[in-house]
Amino acid sequence: MKLVTLLSAAALMTAPLMAGDYDALGKAMRSTWPQVTTVAVVCDAANSKVAVDAIHSALPGVKILVVDVKGQQDMGKALGTLGTRRPDAVILVAGDKVAGDGSSAASFLIQRMAAAKVPTLATTEAGVRQGAVLGVGPGTGGKLLANAKVAAVAGVTVPSGASQI
């Protein structure tokens, strides 16, 4: 019984920390690209529920399309869904076990989305170095980072004041 209580307490304490992770990203996205109305999140939805909820909270009024992937084998299907639904942007979930920052699935996703003129956003410097157009959050030390090369491929502007990677 004590283990359940400890795990529940840990889960409750994680949610507020995660909630703030996407606030700065949402603010940067809205100020840079105010036309964004639909954002996709490609992740293992069950294991990234806290992050998905935090993204919903950080982007009120924006439609969030969650594309559930359980492994690398699901990435082709995910891209098919994204091609059909045409989100305005894609947000990476840093710790996602399938398509998180640094994974080959994230690289695949970033490249395909940029080619389709859909920018990808991250909360870590690693995500921006990997090819996300914008990044801000705890994994960037709170700094707004941009990848101008990928932004040019995706056909989007980079916010003034962003540190270029």
Report the mean per-residue pLDDT for the chain: 89
Instruction: State the pLDDT at residue 19.
Output: 54
Q: Give the separation between CA 38 and CA 61, rounded to whole angstroms.
A: 9
Q: Where are the domains of the chain?
A: 18-164
Does residue 87 contact residue 109 with C-beta atoms inside 8 Å?
no
Residues near 15 by Cβ (< 8 Å), separated by ≥ 6?
Answer: 50, 53, 54
The pLDDT tens digits of the residues spanning 149-159 come to: 999 999 999 98
* Average pLDDT score over residue span 56-74: 96
Residues near 21 by Cβ (< 8 Å), separated by ≥ 6?
Answer: 51, 54, 94, 123, 137, 138
CATH number of 18-164: 3.40.50.2300
* Average pLDDT score over residue span 102-113: 94
Does residue 156 contact residue 131 with C-beta atoms inside 8 Å?
no
The pLDDT tens digits of the residues spanning 68-82 come to: 999 999 999 999 999
* Average pLDDT score over residue span 14-32: 77
* Average pLDDT score over residue span 33-59: 96
Q: How confident is the model at residue 90 (pLDDT cuts 50, 70, 90)?
A: very high
Q: Is the pLDDT of residue 11 over 80?
A: no
Q: Is the pLDDT of residue 4 over 70?
A: no
Instruction: State the pLDDT at residue 14.
Output: 38
Q: Is the pLDDT of residue 7 over 50?
A: no
* Average pLDDT score over residue span 90-113: 94
**Sign of the torsion angle spanned by Cα atoms 13, 15, 18, 20:** negative
